[in-house]
Amino acid sequence: MKTALLLLVTLRAALMAPRKLPHVPDVVFPPVPDDARLSSEHLRLLLETNQDPEVQPGLFQGDMALTNEMYDFWRVGLRWDVMPERMWQNSTVHYVISPLYDTSEYVTIYNAILTLNFLTCIKFVPWDGKADDFLLIWPVKYPHGCWSYVGRFGGPQIVSLQPPDEQGPNCLGDEGRSIHELLHALGIFHEQSRADRDNFVDIHPENIIPEFQVNFNKESLENTTYSFEYDYGSIMHYGQYYFREANGKMLAVIISVMLASVGSARYVPYVPEVLHPPVPQEARLNADDVRRLDEMGQDPEVTPGLFQGDLALTDEMYDYWRIGIRWDVMPQRMWPNGTVPYVISPLYDTPDYVTIYKAIITLNSMTCIRFVPWNGKDKDYLLIWPVKQPKGCWSYVGRFGGPQIVSLQPPDKNGPNCLGGEGRSIHELLHALGIFHEQSRADRDMYVDVKFENIIPEYRNNFNKQSLENTTYNFEYDYDSIMHYGQYFFSKTRGQPTIIPKKENVKLGQRKAISKTDCLKINDLYGCLSKSVYHNRK
């Protein structure tokens, strides 16, 4: 740990070596289009109503520095790629991170840069002291908050990310806002200003501070969609309460039009609060056993009381699982062409909806699978729904046929929380694609010890393993898999592990991110291993 910290400090010092940086005053005056210009009283109102850090700067749409000319281009819907002078040459962006940031703030910004370098073709590089055009990532004190120019403006160009203090907003709680402002600097506008946005969200002008309604104008040309579907989960989308009136009520300014591609909720089958998913005969439990799981405060993937906790399986499917048959030898269990239509329940509130949507976007970007909104016609599709019973997080394994539940229970006073992050959503969606738990592999005893004496007796069969080696997918055992049991799943007593890794300093059961091997398995199962972002990195 000390070595890693020393490396970060050394790296920071190297990148921050003096190179005749321009003076950046505490107060700057970025351009604002005439149509969006505000008085000092209006700007003060933004601060007093405790608006989002991307709203408080009081620039166009809150956080965008635009000239009148650039605003006119935006209004008619011209993309920056028709104006070479607004693009970064060779997709290379020189940058300087202010030495005024402390180490933790610096690392947050640097992580955002690493993310964009890894996930896009853009290359952010430290300023060499010679390039005329470069970003100055700086904690400007005024305008308050987080803001940026849009596209290349020319010369030293501010990206303002204000660190937390007692009076000001916080742009550096994590790397998300840094990524948002850096995407503006690359030429990307807000998602909700797309020409087609009214098909997907409703704007409520009656809830918006009147002087700021211009910020909800939209562009006029369809090319602002980039030919991609509307993205509720975009990091460039307004929050639901941006520029709200200060009337003491959290009235939504933007309402998602859920199931927009379907057109109406009447097309979606009725989903009762209590369901009875199939459970193999050998794993079937009585009501008292299932209730005991809930009372013991077990993991949300344990509390459903299905096979291995969260798997809905028929006896026939269980027999296939037991002998280790992979779903790719049964076409009826696979999603044709790797395409999975889905519906996200309108019962979820916006943060929960976004959490699920982020999981879908992750799988779409990291695997060859394509989750697509249900078109109202496909016979087989996922219904992602907050089922109340069985409690917790659970899914069928592979394509079951017809409307198929993936149950993700949001937090409440009595139930488990499947939506604290996107990890559990990814876990259950991988089940729906046909992936089983990592610790049930045929070779698992070489890598973990199962402590049957610590397992609730009625649940010991959940720790059975498959019998064929093909369940390994020819990949090494993955302690870091998002599909691995946690160390205390089905434990009789808190603190008694049921699985112990044979490798030291390993933590089991992470639900933060899909692992490299998880991605490879999915692509292998669906016959597209060569398309994996990792296939050359095994």
Asked if 96 contacts 113 with a C-beta cutoff of 8 angstroms, the reply is no
Ligand-binding annotation for 180, yes or no, is yes
Ligand-binding annotation for 184, yes or no, is yes
Ligand-binding annotation for 23, yes or no, is no
- Look at the block and give the residue holding tokens 């996107």: 422
Closest C-alpha to 395, from 503, 309, 316 = 309
Asked if 477 contacts 508 with a C-beta cutoff of 8 angstroms, the reply is no
The residues that bridge with 148 in the sheet, in sequence order, are 64, 159
Q: Using DSSP, state whether 27 is helix, strand or coil.
A: strand
Q: From the candidates 54, 105, 175, 181, which is the catalytic residue?
A: 181
Report how far residue 350's alpha carbon sits from residue 211's, in angstroms, rounded to the nearest whole number: 26
- Pairing assessment for the beta strands 381-385 and 403-408 based on DSSP bridges: parallel
Q: From the candidates 175, 191, 301, 428, which is the catalytic residue?
A: 428
Q: Is 504 a catalytic residue?
A: no
Report how far residue 306's alpha carbon sits from residue 308's, in angstroms, rounded to the nearest whole number: 6
Residues 6 or more apart from 138 whose CB is under 8 A from it?
24, 98, 100, 158, 159, 160, 161
Q: Is 476 a catalytic residue?
A: no
- Look at the block and give the residue holding tokens 């890794």: 501
Six-digit token string for 522: 């999915």
Ligand-binding annotation for 535, yes or no, is no
Report how far residue 93's alpha carbon sits from residue 45's, in angstroms, rounded to the nearest whole number: 35
409-447: b (≥16 Cβ within 10 Å) or e: bbeeeebbbbbeebbbbbbbbbbbbbbbbbbbbeebeeb
Q: Using DSSP, state whether 516 is helix, strand or coil.
A: helix
Residue 524 phi, psi dihedral angles, 5° rounding: -65, -45
Report how far residue 135's alpha carbon sits from residue 120's, in angstroms, rounded to the nearest whole number: 18
Q: Using DSSP, state whether 156 is helix, strand or coil.
A: strand
Report how far residue 394's alpha carbon sits from residue 437's, in angstroms, rounded to the nearest whole number: 12
Ligand-binding annotation for 437, yes or no, is yes
Ligand-binding annotation for 94, yes or no, is no
**Annotated binding site, which residues?**
180, 184, 190, 427, 431, 437
**Annotated binding site for Zn(2+), which residues?**
180, 184, 190, 427, 431, 437
Catalytic positions are: 181, 428
